[in-house]
A = this chain, B = another copy of it.
Amino acid sequence: MTAEHPPGTSLAARHRVTRQGAAIDATLIDLADAFHTAQSIHGELRRRSQPVGLATVYRHLRKLAAVEALDVVIQPDGEAAYRLCGTTSGTEATAKPHHHHLVCRICGSTVEVDGPEVEVWARRVARKAGFSNLTHTVEIFGECERHAGRP
């Protein structure tokens, strides 16, 4: 087999390390407590005086998502939001096996939740209907304590 990857340093362990890629990763880490759209990340980068092309942001996000280093949530309005997922630190972005989210509709803050019961339920219901090759999305939207009632 070909050479192993040397101990990585950042999220993009197995990819070419570039200034913009790193900037995106860094931002993602800082904002890891909530979901953000590609656009808002792009904006944040600009705000930090580390402008990165919007297309590049999308490309990078897609790449991270492909390696499952990102959680992707499609909001009720159809816009996609991303958030760093699993073990943020460490050598390699290790994706968590499976989990869902509780997202604040106002500020985007997120709580990761898992529910074995739901997994089981989903599988059981689907099987019973003869469905296979399953996938499921479970997202809970609400207003976190801080924003209950008013922004």
Q: Which residue numbers of A lie inside 8 Å of B, CB to CB?
A: 74, 76, 78-80, 102, 104-105, 111, 113, 115, 117-118, 121-122, 125-126, 129-145, 148
Contact = CB atoms under 8 A, between A and B. Distances in A.
A129 B141 CA distance: 12
B148 A142 contact: no
Contacts of A130: 144-145
Question: How many copies of this protein are present in the complex?
Answer: 2
Given A102-B126, A111-B129, A145-B131, A136 B137 contact: no
Given A74-B74, A130-B145, A136 B135 contact: no
A13 B149 CA distance: 34
B125 A144 contact: no
